[in-house]
Structure 1
Amino acid sequence: MLDQIIKNRRSIFPNQFSGKAVSKEEIKILLEAANWAPTHRKTQPWRFKVFREDSLSVLAEFIEKAYTTTTPEHQFSAFKLKKTLEKVTTSAAVIVICMQRDPKESVPEWEEVAATAMAVQNLWLMTGELGLGGYWSSPGYRTAMHTELKLNTGEECLGFFYLGAYKEEPLAGERDAIEDKTVWF
């Protein structure tokens, strides 16, 4: 059963969302699942900032400002910006994924990033269980949103989890054989 939940986890993109609302209660279920991720020394570094309903337009403004101010003129794409903003506005919610560094630095930073990633994996698995879809995106401009996202000292934005109900069943996933990735001693 758990193996099927893991194998059926998919990235579902905003253009695959149905437009159906996702309730605050459903999002709380996802966040509660995330909260049970493994964490070395119990630093629990994951932090989430949820944008839904009217606040999605606020996030879109933050993203537009960050993209515009961090993208060199020769790389700027009005089309890419438009598509990025559409991802926000077509999502039922966007969960900003953050990592709060332990002020004591009791564990290496990579362990706290890994713990946060495990929290997101728990959230993602529960997303599938609830019949919802989503995906994690980590655009470069995310680091320019510190003030807008009201990040604390030592807190870092690792990306955005776009969330929504989906229209169609996702395609089956594929993986190379584990034997090709394993060395036994």
Structure 2
Amino acid sequence: MKIDATKVELVNSLIRNRRSVYQQHYTGERVDDEIVTQMLENARWAPTHKLTEPWQFVVFTGEGLRKLGEAQATVYKKVTEADGTFKEERYQNLLTKTTLSSHIIAVGMKRDDKKSVPEVEEIGAVFCAVENMYLTAAAYGIGCYLSTGGITYFEAAKELFGLGDDDKLLGFLHIGIPKAAIPDSKRKPIEDKSVWVRG
């Protein structure tokens, strides 16, 4: 088997240098839409059982970020006032923090009722698609991170992103230009997390 050492090194480097870069570390500059489009294009090549392609993405940028913040804050207030868990600080964060990102992608999993694929496999496919976006961002030197906070797990939020009762909102991928070099990260040795069975 012939191995292309250049491709191997490139893939290894991208994977090992991928980082979550949070909003407070963005410059405020706008990421080119073409880069975000390439992230989405690469997302669609993620593995997907029976080719259901369960991912659904809604991209917010420009004035759309403010609208997203208002929509999230409205849903949060309605749900939490009803159950007595409303917090003003969280409401204000949802209302305003969206504008710190260049783009935000709402990440959804849309069920395909015609194919009998277990839900967990569909969720796994979407997260593989998100990893493809992470790696693409790393290749371009762009920062991003997947947030599962805010209204992610509120049933009432699904409608905002074209999701039905059987679908899932899985989070929000924030995108921005990092202020500084992306820092190193540590991981436990793979020997701590793997077992080989031979023979």
TM-score, scaled to structure 2: 0.86
2:66/2:96 contact within 8 Å kept: no
Corresponding residue for 1:171? 183
Taking the aligned partners of 1:175 and 1:84, their CA distance within structure 2 comes to 31
- Indicate the RMSD between aligned Cα atoms, in angstroms: 1.7
Structure 1 unaligned blocks of 5 or more: none
**1:91-130 alignment to 2 at 5 Å?**
91-130=101-140
Q: Does residue 1:155 correspond to 2:167, yes or no?
A: yes
Taking the aligned partners of 1:50 and 1:140, their CA distance within structure 2 comes to 17
Structure 2 unaligned blocks of 5 or more: 1-9
The C-alpha deviation readout for 1:42-82, integer Å capped at 9, x for no partner, is 11111100000011111001110122122366543222333
Taking the aligned partners of 1:154 and 1:23, their CA distance within structure 2 comes to 34
1:44/1:115 contact within 8 Å kept: yes
Cα deviation, residue 88, structure 1 = 0.7
Q: Does residue 1:18 correspond to 2:27, yes or no?
A: yes
2:157 pairs, out of 145, 166, 174, with 145
Aligned length: 185
Taking the aligned partners of 2:13 and 2:161, their CA distance within structure 1 comes to 36
Taking the aligned partners of 1:79 and 1:29, their CA distance within structure 2 comes to 35
Q: Does residue 1:60 correspond to 2:72, yes or no?
A: no
Corresponding residue for 1:133? 143
SS in 1 for 2:151: helix
2:69/2:97 contact within 8 Å kept: no
Taking the aligned partners of 1:69 and 1:85, their CA distance within structure 2 comes to 14
- Computing the radius of gyration from Cα coordinates, the structure with the larger value is 2
More helix by proportion, 1 or 2?
2
